[in-house]
Chains A and B, each alone.
Chain A
Amino acid sequence: MPEGSLCNKTPVDTMEQLQALLSDRRGVTYYQEMDQLDVNKEALATAIQNTCKSRIRTWLEICAHCGLCADACPYYLVNDKDPKQVPAYKIQSTLGEIVKRKGEVDNDFMQYVMDTAWSKCTCCNRCGMYCPFGIDMGVMFGYVRGLCFAQGFVPWELKIGSGMHRIFRAQMDVTQEDWIETCKWMEEEQEDDWPGLKIPIDVENADLLYTVNAREVKHYPEDLAEAAILFHIAGENWTVASEGWEATSLSMFAGDWAACKMQVETVYDSMKRLKPKRMITTECGHLYRATVLEGPYWAGYESGQPPVECIHYVEWVAEALRTGKLKIDPAKKIKEPVTYQDSCNYIRNGGLGDIAREIISYVAEDFREMSPCREHNFCCGGGGGLNGIGRYRPQRDKGLEIKRDQILATEAKIVIAPCHNCWDAIRDLEEVFHIDISWTFLKPLLLSMVEVPEHLKPAED
């Protein structure tokens, strides 16, 4: 059977397709169909011809098999130094083979490629830092995922995820109406405690345009309320966009390049329409990578820059603390030992390690660095979409061990994790290993210790 009804080479563009996938419990039928899925070798060869350009071809050829990438890879380390987990092996045995064989590969091989691209690499890019040639297997696996997606070899959840982006321009089924309604709802819910608090929608020329992760809107709208309260306290002139409000990209995890472009363009359109001075993201790592670091290239901007300056949430927090827009009550600083989970996407790839430390200096008295840390830190264990993929749960949980041991070594009780994926992975880590830690985003933490200016407090009853 060449194409299944669920597992096929056609991306999800309609509600019917999406519904059909969602009703396939745990993707059982989907993966059965995948066993029968034909590889379109011609299309694969053409794709390589057109998209595998000099950088990746050079990387594949100049790899000296020196093995320095091995110890850089958390999956190699955590799986008893299994040679099959050496990044160079992983990429040579997948992309290397596809290129060498000019697309002449079969179903079994493509499933091996898929399993490798999604369960043995979170695209954390750590190996690229240690390779003497600067070969980045994370970047290459991002590319491999694109080849897999086009051939229909993509984990069930991510086919759904990229479909969500195509249909809703959001990673979850949150419509524009839902989004606006949630903003109003949160504004109302806070009106007693924070008189005058607004979640301004579509205000032009604001200082900040705030973008979010649809999951916050769908399940945890408090996060939006907390963001609004902190902007309110800091006296920011900010806004959200009614359209192009969601800046994450499961399509990036899925390798659905077309959907990546569609999604990021809605965000860029909102920037062009509302002309804010800067765009600020929520506490999400891959959102930053998708919209700030990679997005401009997806959208075809030669400058490599988004339409307006974009900052990660941590940059705003550090700035607000530095300039005194937010003042921390010294008595309320965290006394317990605390550590920080450096996100691959905005710390290693975005270079914000110092910014994170600056924030810590304001909020914590007993800060413990993980080892290694900053741009050398290991992935939380759930990056690259791995948190959400049922098929690779055992591999994901195994990978968490390295993070568990890092955290335990710090003896910290609290892990600050201003990234959705990291936050999820550490939450799950506690569920799996019960090491008695708590984990938090920055927003609730800041709200528990920020000084509230008198004029913003509600009138005494």
Chain B
Amino acid sequence: MFDKILFATTASPICKDAADVAFDLAKKYNSQLTVFHVFGLPTHGFSQFAVDLKTGETEVHDDDWVERVTAEMKTTFADNLAEAENCVVEAVVGAPHREILRAAREKDIDLIVMGSHTRQEDTGATRFRTVVGNTMQKVAKAARCPVLIVSRPCQTCWWYFSNIVFGTDFSKAAQSAFKFALQTAKQIGCKLYLFHACDIGPTDPGKVRTQADIEEKVTEARKKMEELYLPEMEGFDNYEIEVWEGTPYVEILKYARDKQADLVVMAHHTREIDPEKAVLGSTVEQVVLRSACPVASVNRPDKVAAS
């Protein structure tokens, strides 16, 4: 299903949950796994200096430093690496999201796996959280392959997943997310929940929505789901369609919890929103931060059609 997986990591125990999923997936699907860490941000103009993203110290970017970081990574993930067969460990300097996207493009990656946030008690947690949050947001938006974001321990192995929730906003990007969700459900043989939340947030100040209005919207959305997605099922019948109303991210989280989802699949497209300001701004972001299960963000057809 995934020939090449890129595990983008902060190379600290923080990413343990994401690491377990990445290594598990690679093992199951015999994928080539790249453990990829951007450890320094270029600084001091054109010079060779970079700021260590963990400590905030300025260092010269050279082979020694890369070796040291790579060795650290190997220690951090020693348990995982011991069992991994087809795996390389890479450490680079650059703007994290940019280098992750660059590597994904160069290596023709089929799936990016990332953690989403850090724990308060870790050194440099605040600095790190901003970097990681922004990075995830930017990677999820621009990546051409699915991005799997794991922020909490994943209780079940991917191939034992029982419930996948696909949240849609009917966008073009969501079409790719749907394909990915469907393929995954077919592969694993689990149930697929197609879900939409009608946004009844305060978008039109002063306008009060009546129950009838809302119900009409819900019915419309359900019809749209049936039209859009059912013809694509091709014999797959282990699915359910649901439409709720409310604030989209809240409803998706509630629904995922209700259905004991093992995976949430969504499209991440926040065209209007400045990624710097939208760390917590988009629906995907909110879902990722709060979701108990991994979240896959899929925006583009490239790697979905192939897999």
Q: Is the CB of B95 within 8 A of A220?
A: yes
**Known contacts A23-B62, A25-B60, A461 near B171 by CB under 8 Å:** yes
Asked if B47 contacts A22 (CB within 8 A), the reply is no
Chain A window 423-461, contacts with chain B (Cβ cutoff 8 Å), 1 for yes, 0 for no: 010001000000000000000000010000000001001
B46 close to A388 (CB less than 8 A): yes
Q: State whether the Cβ of A322 lies closer than 8 Å to any Cβ in chain B.
A: no
Which residues from chain B contact A185 at a C-beta distance below 8 Å?
102, 105
Whether the pair B48, A157 counts as a contact (CB closer than 8 A) is: yes
Looking at the complex, which one of A188, A219, A250 makes contact with B95 (CB distance below 8 Å)?
Answer: A219
Which residue on B lies nearest to A387, using beta carbons?
B45
Report whether B62 and A22 are in contact in the complex, using a CB–CB cutoff of 8 Å.
Answer: yes
Does any Cβ of A come within 8 Å of B161's Cβ? no
Contact A219 B98 (CB under 8 A): yes
B267-307 to A contact mask, C-beta < 8 Å, 1/0: 00101001000000000000000000000000110000000
- Is A421 an interface residue, CB under 8 A from the partner? yes
A181 CB to closest chain B CB (Å) equals 9
CA–CA, A222 to B299, complex, Å?
Answer: 19
Closest to A193 in B: B271
B64 contacts the other chain (Cβ, under 8 Å)? Answer: yes
Q: With a CB–CB cut-off of 8 A, which chain A residues contact B95?
A: 219-220
Query: Is there a chain B Cβ closer than 8 Å to A160's Cβ?
Result: yes
Known contacts: A22-B62, A219-B95. The answer to whether A161 contacts B46 by CB under 8 A is yes
Tell me, yes or no, whether A382 is within 8 Å of chain B by CB: yes
Alpha-carbon gap, A448 to B269, bound state (A): 17
Confirm or deny: B44 has a beta carbon within 8 angstroms of a beta carbon on chain A: yes
A22 and B62 alpha carbons, distance in the complex (Å)? 7
Q: Give the docked Cα–Cα distance between A215 and B271 (Å).
A: 26
**A412 CB, nearest partner CB in chain B, Å:** 19
Assuming the contacts A221-B98, A461-B170, asked whether A171 and B47 have C-beta atoms less than 8 A apart, the reply is: no
Shortest distance in angstroms between A156's beta carbon and chain B's nearest beta carbon? 9
Q: Could you tell me the distance between the alpha carbons of A389 and B46 in the complex, rounded to whole angstroms? A: 9
Report whether B46 and A189 are in contact in the complex, using a CB–CB cutoff of 8 Å. no
Which residues of B sit under 8 angstroms from A220, Cβ to Cβ? 95, 98
For window 12-53 of A, CB contacts with B under 8 Å fall at: 22-23, 25-26
Q: CA of A450 to CA of B144 in the docked complex: distance in angstroms?
A: 27
Does A347 have its Cβ within 8 Å of any Cβ on chain B?
no
Q: Which of A148-190 contact B (CB under 8 A)?
A: 157, 160-161, 171-172, 185, 188-189
Asked if B146 lies at the interface with its beta carbon under 8 angstroms from chain A, I say no
Check if B158 is an interface residue, CB within 8 A of chain A. Answer: no
Q: Does B84 contact A (CB under 8 A)?
A: no
Tell me if A22 and B48 are in contact (CB < 8 A): yes
A390-B49 in contact given A23-B63, A185-B105, A461-B172 (Cβ < 8 Å): yes
Answer whether residue B142 sits at the interface, using C-beta atoms and an 8 A cutoff. Answer: yes
User: Which residue on chain B has the smallest CB distance to residue A161?
Assistant: B46
Within 8 Å of chain A (Cβ to Cβ): is B153?
A: no
CA distance A23 to B61 in the complex (A): 9
Contact indicator per residue, chain B 224-263, by CB within 8 Å of chain A (1) or not (0) = 0000000000000000000000000000000000000000
Is B189 part of the contact surface with A, judged by Cβ < 8 Å?
no
Beta-carbon contact of B42 and A157 below 8 Å: no
Please, which residue of chain B has its CB at the minimum distance from the CB of A220?
Answer: B95
| B63 engages A172 (CB within 8 Å) | no
Give residues of chain B (53-112) contacting chain A, Cβ–Cβ below 8 Å. 60, 62-64, 94-95, 98, 101-102, 105
Q: Decide if B214 is an interface residue (CB 8 Å cutoff).
A: no
Give the distance in Å from the alpha carbon of A190 to the alpha carbon of B294 in the complex: 27
Query: B48–A160 contact, CB under 8 A?
Result: yes
Closest A residue to B172 using CB positions? A461
Contact (A448, B274) CB under 8 Å given A23-B62, A25-B64: yes
Contacts of B43 in A (CB 8 A): 428
Nearest CB in chain B to that of A382: its residue: B45
Task: Note all chain B residues with C-beta closer than 8 A to A382.
Answer: 45
Is B131 an interface position by the 8 A CB rule? no
With A23-B62, A23-B63, A448-B274 known to touch, is A171 a contact of B46 (CB < 8 Å)?
A: yes
Residues of A participating in the B interface, judged by any CB pair closer than 8 Å: 22-23, 25-26, 157, 160-161, 171-172, 185, 188-189, 192-193, 215, 219-222, 250, 382, 385, 387-390, 393, 420-421, 424, 428, 448, 458, 461
Nearest 8 Cβ contacts at the A-B interface = A387-B45, A388-B47, A388-B45, A461-B171, A461-B172, A388-B46, A157-B47, A424-B45
